[in-house]
A and B are shown apart, each in its own frame.
Chain A
């Protein structure tokens, strides 16, 4: 094999690797609901989940669920808003704020740091949040409760 041929073969291999990497990245993503693996929670329905993140208390198996908002990835947050709460980010914030003013309590905690979010999931009983499935699978002590959405975000 000449040097020219070796270079061409290397270029093709690199191109294929880039294509595979792109395909992996742009492949359908899966958003899941997660909790601590220490507390088994039955999966809530889509309606219950919407109510939970809209500030309505939900009790499953005698345990009050605590929603945690995951803001570590802006795309994930937008997918969550579109697929779960059906509101824009601004209106969702307005809704939560007015809920607090009218009924008291606190807005669901918002996390922009994954370490802090995982720590809160593990320490707070009944805490649930949403994240990409591949992220959840890579985190020890985290259990996928149910699939929320699957599709492309490109």
Chain B
């Protein structure tokens, strides 16, 4: 049953179809070609034999005509039989006299029967009769010759055998060639299938490199590679959208939390300090209410740009929502270092914004929490920075460093 299933599976495969299709084609065409070729060759041999027999006998008859010296005729008959092809030679005169020479064949004059087709009478001898004329043109005798058909029959049989052998060799060679070439043809298809399965499983990293001379497979490979690249681009865009704020392009809460977690692990390992800042734009509601949400969006974008410019490349600024931002500053040496970095930021943000002909004087309230001083986990640090920011907002003194009071 398992073997039958394997066979059925093979028959459904590309290789199986190729093998079966070519085999069926050969099974139909080969016998037709073989029978046709053998028939033509057989006809050729038979025609050649009959033609040679008729010409030879005619010339032999012409040679004997007008010479009826019995001794000489007998000698010529013997010579004819000695040649090998003629195995029976007989002259029967009008008076009934018989002269004969043969290689083991004897036919009574009244039993002689002439052949007109090769193989007639199934006796492997082609009998032919030629009239012999005298000087006046009268028939004096009848020359009867028997030609051996065996060499021609053997030639035809040999042709059959060789034809069968060649046909057999051709089939074996063809099957072997198909068996050898078919897996090579399908190898690239199998690789393509594996690559498609990898892509379907979400593995988009590996580039498709299938070397093949088959145009269709090469085109399919190119198409699949183009599809993989498009999927990679789309997934990168989606990943960026999932982790960044659409308005400012800054990291969002998720990415910030992730980076904060990583930074805390690193700080814990290296024993260094890090700062988490919460930032809120002062009077942002007024801008929104008086100049519209579009202007508010522009203010957020400009503020985000300024913050990025004022901070180190290793720092992370994220938008948490509305006009609230968080800043992660790893590898702080001490409190002063953190305070200096935040002072620099406040200074940059204190400069008025010039947007669409409006000069906007916006500043920011910033609260700072330090690791490990104000908390050792992300949640606590963010809460303490948030509390410090509200303190700064209430007291209008920014920045405000968290303290437990």
Which of A's residues lie within 8 Å of B, judged by CB? Answer: 45-46, 75, 78-79, 81-82, 86-91, 151-154
Contact = CB atoms under 8 A, between A and B. Distances in A.
20 contacts: A45-B137, A46-B131, A78-B117, A81-B54, A82-B54, A82-B114, A82-B116, A82-B128, A86-B55, A86-B57, A87-B51, A87-B54, A87-B55, A88-B47, A88-B50, A88-B51, A89-B47, A91-B47, A91-B51, A152-B114
Contacts of A79: 116
A154 B57 CA distance: 21
Please list the 4 inter-chain residue pairs (A to B) with the smallest Cβ-Cβ separation, ordered nearest first.
A88-B51, A86-B58, A78-B116, A88-B50
B94 to A, nearest CB: 14
Given A82-B128, A151-B129, A88 B117 contact: no
Nearest to A151: B114
A78 B133 CA distance: 23
A89 B44 CA distance: 11
B64 to A, nearest CB: 15
B116 A88 contact: no
A152 B137 contact: no
Contacts of A82: 54, 114, 116, 128
Interface in B241-300: none
A81 B50 CA distance: 10
B30 to A, nearest CB: 27
A151 B116 CA distance: 11
A90 B54 CA distance: 13
B304 to A, nearest CB: 100
A71 to B, nearest CB: 15
Contacts of A86: 54-55, 57-58
Nearest to A50: B58
B113 interface: yes
Contacts of B137: 45
A79 B58 CA distance: 14
Contacts of B117: 78
Given A86-B55, A88-B51, A153-B116, 6 more contacts: A46-B131, A78-B117, A82-B116, A87-B55, A88-B48, A152-B113
A90 B51 contact: yes
B43 to A, nearest CB: 8
Q: Which of B50, B55, B129 has the most CB of A within 10 A?
A: B50
A87 B51 CA distance: 5
A154 B113 contact: yes
A31 to B, nearest CB: 11
Contact of B54 (A45, A75, A88, A153): A88
Q: Which of B51, B116, B129, B137 has the most CB of A within 10 A?
A: B116
A81 B47 CA distance: 12
Interface string B24-58: 00000000000000000000000110110011011
